[in-house]
Chains A and B, each alone.
Chain A
Amino acid sequence: MSAILPPAQRLWWKEPVHSVELVWIVIAFVWCLVMFFMMPFWHIYGKQNLSAETYRTTPEMFSKKAQAMVDQYKVREETEQKIPVVKPPAGGDVYLIARLWQWWPILELEKGKTYRLHLTAMDYQHGFSLQPENINIQVLPGYEHVVNVTPNRAGSYAIICNEFCGIGHHTMVSRLYVK
């Protein structure tokens, strides 16, 4: 007659259910439905939804596109490594490479404008983590993920890596400017 013994009633599935259980099941189920419909609701009315637009790519293909963007829109270089800072036209395609242990190049975007941000990894998996905004996206080798981003605040942001990618993982940090 307890949970560690067989049910006392042989036909236990015919026993009446407690009213307290019934009421709770109804409340809980309604809440589950609310949470479920919140996701499609946000896709229709919300402004923060992760794009599913993805293409197959290779390091060579992607590097070429990123290099073309850098050649065309480079405005200056930063740090001893001479990482190019790129200011692409608003509304255009921007490319960001994740590799051991660097984000390349540095992007300079305009506030309120929408960009098509292309992300891929050259080697291992990486994690795009925009701080202090705290937007986090997985970056996989072989996949080119196109995310439409609209910066809503000017300032200097950091992109850190939040997917473990080997011994230098914690040194993989870069900048992103919004003017």
Chain B
Amino acid sequence: MATMALFRICPRTGLQFHKSAETLIKLNAVVAVVSLLVGGILALLITLTRWQAIHLVGAEQFYLLLTVHGLDMLAFWIIFFEIAVLYFCSSTLLKSRLATPRMAWLGFALMLIGAVTVNAAVFSGQATVMFTSYVPLPGHPAFYLGLILFAVGALIGCFVFLGTLVVAKAEKTYEGSIPLVTFGALTAAIIAIFTIASGAIILIPTFLWSTGYIKSIDPLMYRTIWWAFGHSSQQINVSAHIAVWYAIAAIVFGAKPMSERVSRTAFLLYILFLQLASAHHLLSDPGLSTEWKVFNTSYAMYLAVLASMIHGLTVPGAIEVAQREKGYTRGLFEWIRKAPWGNPVFSGMFISLVGFGFLGGISGVMMGTEQLNMLIHNTIYVPGHFHATVVIGTTLAFMALTYFLIPTLFQREVIMPGLAKWQPYLFGLGMAVFTLAMMGAGTLGVPRRHWDITFAGTMLPYEFPGTASLMLGIMGVAGVVAVIGGGLYVFLTVGSLLWGKRLEGGTYGTQGGVLRMPVATAITGHGGAGFAAPGTFVFALVFLTAFVLYYFVNWKYLSTVWGLS
């Protein structure tokens, strides 16, 4: 079988695609975009409902749509795309055939069946249980079964990825170590396996409970294990989108990692510590000891935060070094001023990086602090935070990568490049204002997953401060802008696939090229030499200042509330 593998080499990028891998990458990416489309339409309806002045859909519909939105976005859009990224980072980057394509097809089929089942279960009105499906809130058994099928499919995808690494190593398609981007993808896959195992441990009994075979599921046990799945799956995203950042820095600038050792160690810290963060969701829970909360919520001693702060420096740092080598050396910031801001591959990636760090990162650490969590637990601050990490961070990074994949993978020219240029700005900045407004409203106590904060018709209503309604209004407007930006992405992607000018993609042959690197060529000149990225370092200090200030402002706020002990 192996000798029958068909390959083509993209004439523009030199990337080599194995035919089976290529088809699967395309299919996973297309299903991902379809999920994004469905989730995006729901996003609009949900935003326009929480925008209290419009209050579009009814309560029952709202909770139902919110459940589907969470699953289609957080699970289906992102994980289908991630499987595509995994196959790309293994088969394509290592110039290897994909291991066991038939298993990969099986995985894809299971994921698709699972995703459709979950959507059907919720849309039928029998599983309005939110993304988290906290027991004992009952959902239809098909809901849990769909999730389990999807997870098994994704697990198969992870093992196909690992198998491909083994094949590439055995067939010597590359020399030395795997590329940093593949290493990042490997990190994501390892975390994914942990995540999916946790999901299985809790969802299988919950499925049995929903069908009546098990009498009850302990709610705290459910939360503890479910979040090892729910939160860790966001860590897959972090690893995957940081791998994408490194990839885009390499593709657009030819940037090499500042030091392989630092970047890879940072990924290793993710593998070791990120999964402790299921504790973030349990800080305001009964039944867990304070020591458990403090240790786990801080990933031991914030070692995963340290890793993110490292990537936050080394990705732009690598770009700065590459730009300086090209001669953009004037002052601290010429390298960034002269970056290709009109190229959506770059602008999307850079907005993703800045938004993830400043909005998602800082808010995440604040709310993950044991005592501070009480100030925002279950408020709309929480979705504010994770829309910054998962939407600005992951989704925008994936969108940016798509603009690179359309010509090389799908062999089509991106239609309307003038429009594509603006898409990341519209989406990224719309989303940035959206998340800030949500965090603002959350600080004022506005709850998440709540249909009506005016409490109309209740006997003891509470009136939120006027600023809260204003925040929700800003959220609504910015949300609409972001939905337009997201819609534009779907339109440009689908449009390019349908009507984009066909590009020469190279012919298929059985001879796969081998990735031979000039091993230990001349010392490449950087590494240890001087203060190579001063501009990035200044950015990093600005980030740190914002971080420290915001962190202590919240402690100050905490010190004014009721005494609790």
Contacts and interface: CB of A to CB of B under 8 A. Distances in A.
Contacts of A2: 179, 250, 254-256
Interface stretch (A41-49, A63-71, A87-95): A41-49
Interface stretch (B1-9, B25-33, B100-108, B524-532): B524-532
A5 B284 contact: no
Contacts of B246: 3-4
Interface in B102-145: 128, 130, 134, 136-137
B176 A25 contact: no
Contact of A3 (B220, B257, B287, B301): B257
A35 B362 CA distance: 12
A135 B285 contact: no
Interface in A25-48: 25, 27-29, 31-33, 35-36, 38-40, 42-43, 46-48
Interface of A is mostly: mixed
A145 B458 CA distance: 27
A60 interface: no
Interface residues of B, number: 118
Given A23-B537, A136-B375, A170-B455, A39 B444 contact: no
Contact of B533 (A10, A20, A48): A20
Interface string A133-176: 11111111111110111111000001011111111011101110
Nearest to A16: B528
A24 B540 contact: yes
Contacts of B534: 20
A150 B562 contact: yes
A170 B451 contact: yes
A134 B444 contact: yes
Contact of A39 (B298, B309, B313): B298
Q: Residue among A25, A161, A165 with the most chain B CB within 10 A?
A: A25
Nearest to B368: A35
B565 to A, nearest CB: 4
Interface in B505-530: 515, 517-521, 524, 526-530
A23 B448 CA distance: 40
B301 A114 contact: no
B287 A140 contact: yes
B229 interface: no
B371 A35 contact: no
Contacts of A31: 309, 544, 547-548
B376 A136 contact: yes
A138 B59 contact: no
B518 A165 contact: no
B377 interface: yes
B490 interface: no
B211 interface: no
Which size bracket describes the interface of A in this complex? 35 or more
Given A28-B309, A35-B551, A133 B458 contact: no
A148 B563 CA distance: 8
B430 interface: no
B352 to A, nearest CB: 16
A49 B564 contact: yes
A167 B67 CA distance: 13
Contacts of A136: 284, 374-379
B261 A15 contact: yes
Contacts of B251: 4
Contacts, number: 336
B219 interface: yes
Given A19-B528, A31-B544, A164-B449, A39 B220 contact: no
B170 interface: no
Contact of B369 (A21, A35, A127, A131): A35
A166 B62 CA distance: 11
B38 interface: no
B379 A10 contact: no
B438 to A, nearest CB: 14
A127 B559 contact: no
A24 B130 contact: no
A72 to B, nearest CB: 23
Contacts of B528: 15-19
Contacts of A130: 562
Contact of B310 (A24, A33, A49, A139): A24
B555 interface: yes
B175 interface: yes
Contacts of A132: 444-445, 464-465
B65 to A, nearest CB: 13
A160 B564 contact: no
B198 interface: no
Given A134-B445, A140-B220, A5 B533 contact: no
B329 interface: no
B450 interface: yes
B136 A141 contact: yes
A131 B431 CA distance: 27
B288 to A, nearest CB: 7
B467 to A, nearest CB: 11
A158 B464 CA distance: 10
A173 to B, nearest CB: 5
B247 A135 contact: no
Contacts of B443: 134
Nearest to A165: B137
Contacts of B524: 1, 8-9
Interface string B280-309: 001111111110001000100111011001
B179 A5 contact: yes
Contact of A125 (B134, B309, B317): B134
Contacts of A39: 294, 298, 369-371
Given A50-B564, A52-B286, 12 more contacts: A15-B261, A19-B532, A21-B310, A24-B540, A36-B302, A39-B294, A47-B559, A48-B558, A142-B220, A144-B286, A163-B449, A167-B128
13 contacts: A7-B176, A15-B260, A20-B317, A20-B537, A35-B369, A38-B369, A47-B563, A50-B374, A130-B562, A132-B464, A138-B378, A140-B220, A165-B137
Sorted from nearest, which 4 A-B pairs have the closest CB atoms?
A: A16-B528, A150-B563, A145-B286, A158-B462
Interface of A: 1-13, 15-21, 23-25, 27-29, 31-33, 35-36, 38-40, 42-43, 46-52, 54, 78-81, 114, 119, 123-125, 127, 129-145, 147-152, 158, 160-167, 169-171, 173-175
